[in-house]
Amino acid sequence: MKIKRHGAVISLIAAGALALTACGSDQNTPAAGGGSGAAAPTGSAQVDCGGKKNLVAEGSSAQKGAMDVFAQQYGQKCAGQQIAYTPSGSGNGIKQFNGGVADIGGSDSPLKEGTETDAAKTRCKGDPAWNLPLVFGPVAVPYKLDGVTDVTLTPDVIAKIFTGAVKTWDDAEITKANGGKALPAKPIKVIFRDGDSGTTDNFQQYLAAAAPSSWTKGAGKKFVGGTGQSAQGSAGVAETVAAADGTIGFVEWSFAQDKKLNVAKIDSGAGAVTLSGETAGNAIKEAKIKGTGNDLVLDLKALYASKAANSYPLVLATYEIVCSKGYDADTAKAVKAFLTVAATTAQSGLADAGYVPLPQEFQDKLLTAVKAIA
């Protein structure tokens, strides 16, 4: 079903009647996908309910659908408890957390060292904030090429397509990536997201890590490839790709599922990999942490540059930013209860919303950090 957002703040009161939305980082959410193919996680943990009745969270709209699922499960597990999530964007999430308005901030990127970490330390009464990667959503490379439903691309070829160096579907490099099979001699029409987008930033970070010789444009929330046409939001990208032959774009997986778009396989060096819950989960399972202690900042460069077999490394991670210490006792108790539910039993509801349920190994890392919040 398609859920429209009414108002800036959406109260997530979990009484079992809340409809679940799919992943998206704009103001439109697609219908829930047809399932990720990943087995539902079985992890669970003891939840110490209580504390603050109404938690406040704000930030990345890419995790909006996941937060709906988490809130529903939280309310079922802890009767009378609820969380209100405002999907206002990562920048606002950090600002509202650091300003003491939000108990939890949601961001597609960890706190930046310096101004942001300093402000967070002040907000947390002298103790550091932690970045906890709780939500993972794959980024798909959808295309429309009449008569073709199976396309494999390498990171280098993707980079060259999105800089305009590869211009036609029958280019020799695309033919080579597809085992010598030539695709139709049609021009490639690149579609990218207009304005600032965490999905764009992660896609460009991926290309910089996986294809450094072919993508020298850098990263950032604005598309810097220098070719193609823009579309409004993730829904606009998916709709534009679906509407015209020869198109290609990048978008959160749930939007590609919603429009039933063909998605390119990616060959990072160990064979073509189809995007699925299993292959994205394999990448998450092997993700390395570069933060210290319970500050679980991911080494995205290593993740994106991975050449592991049967692994789809192009995934977007959303962090929950929390105080390691510094909450009042009621807030700390409720934050820990919510995050415990979100990291364990609530993960089983994510697959149909276009996200990847956390592997048990990653759940364990998160639970260790959550238990340490004081």
Q: Where are the domains of the chain?
A: 10-138+281-300+317-372, 139-279
Calpha distance 323→131 (Å, rounded): 9
Is 106 annotated in some ligand binding site? no
| Residues 240-279: b if buried by 16+ CB within 10 A, e if exposed | bbbeeebbbbbbbbbbbbbbebbbbbbbbeeebbebbbbb
Is 332 annotated in some ligand binding site? no
Contact of 20 with 353, CB cutoff 8 Å: yes
pLDDT tens figures, 110-145 = 999 999 999 999 999 999 999 999 999 999 999 999
pLDDT, residue 41, reads 43
264, HSE (Cβ side, Cα atoms, 13 Å): 29
pLDDT category, 366, cuts 50, 70, 90? Answer: very high
pLDDT category, 43, cuts 50, 70, 90? Answer: low
pTM: 0.79
Token match 């020869």: residue?
Answer: 246
Class of domain 139-279: alpha beta
Is 90 annotated in some ligand binding site? yes
Is 198 annotated in some ligand binding site? yes
Is 324 annotated in some ligand binding site? no
Strand partners, 262: 143
Give the right CATH number for 10-138+281-300+317-372 from 3.40.50.300, 3.40.50.720, 3.40.190.10, 3.20.20.10. Answer: 3.40.190.10
